[in-house]
Amino acid sequence: MSRSADVVGLAAAAAAVLLLAPVPAAADAEPGPVAEAPILDLSLPVNGISAPVEDLTYATENEDGSLTDAENAKERTVTLAADVLFDFDKATLSGKAETALAEAAGILEEHAGGKTVDIVGYTDAKGDDAYNTKLSEDRAETVRAELEPLVSGTEVKFRTAGKGSADPVAPNEVDGEDNPKGREKNRRVEIRFPR
């Protein structure tokens, strides 16, 4: 017999058992008084309810995850994954950085002309705070140096800063354990400008 025939046979046997099983009769239940409860009108008017929508942000990510473009009513933030831009513990650009930086430059050319653009570097929480701050400053400066010629003629003014492991976007640890995926998200360079 095949496996499907076995399954069909088992299903038929289970159905037969259910059909032959005794069912308690309604007459076995004891009658009692009918409970009464007040019926309340639960329809409420929905008038005058309003709330401000604050800081609604929408974001898109490119196909390889190296660039995220997010904006709200006040500013636009282009986030570049540091693992794509830089080799581990370095502030010199890797071979994979060119595409992400060209994409960021295109956004700046189209939307940031004449504005001041902040480039802020971040690291994960591994290592010494002073070292991480300096590394994040160097990475922000490297991105500025690469972007400046790509957006010449747009009158964009750049400012750079490094914040080390401050302002994480994901937990570096979960339940006291290292969180590599969170640390990866925290290693980034953000390019921000007002809308």
Q: Whole-prediction pTM value? A: 0.72
Query: Does the structure show a pLDDT above 80 at 142?
Result: yes
Q: Is residue 21 part of a domain?
A: no
Work out the percent of the chain whose per-residue pLDDT is above 90: 66
Name the pLDDT band for 31 (thresholds 50, 70, 90): confident
- Any domain includes 110: yes
Q: Categorize the per-residue pLDDT at 49 as very low, low, confident or very high, splitting at 50, 70 and 90.
A: confident
Written as six digits, the tokens of 156 are 């964009």
Is the pLDDT at 64 greater than 90? The verdict is no
CA–CA dist 15, 110 (Å, integer): 68
pLDDT score, position 45: 72
Averaged pLDDT, 71-79? 95
pLDDT confidence tier of residue 30, bands split at 50, 70 and 90: confident
pLDDT at 38: 76
Residue 184 lies in a domain: yes
Q: Please indicate, yes or no, if residue 147 is contained in any of the structural domains.
A: yes
Confidence of residue 21 (pLDDT cuts 50, 70, 90): low
Residue 55 maps to a domain = no
Q: Given pLDDT bands bounded at 50, 70 and 90, which one contains residue 143? A: very high
The count of residues in the chain is: 195
Q: Residue 101 belongs to what domain range?
A: 64-194
- Encoded tokens for 175: 């339940």
Q: How confident is the model at residue 32 (pLDDT cuts 50, 70, 90)?
A: confident
Mean pLDDT in the chain?
86
Q: Which residues on adjacent β-strands are paired with residue 60?
A: 69
Can you tell me the mean pLDDT for 158-164?
A: 98
Q: Quick check: is 8 in a domain?
A: no
β-bridge partners, 143? none
70: CATH: 3.30.1330.60
pLDDT over 90 at 161, yes or no: yes
Domain assignment of residue 135, yes or no:
yes
With respect to residue 100, please indicate whether it lies within any of the assigned structural domains.
yes
In the structure, what pLDDT confidence band is assigned to residue 10 with cuts at 50, 70 and 90?
A: low
Q: What is the DSSP letter of 34?
A: P
Task: Domain count for the chain, please give it.
Answer: 1
For residue 53, name the pLDDT band (cuts at 50, 70, 90).
Answer: low
CA nearest to 189, candidates 97, 113, 60, 116:
97
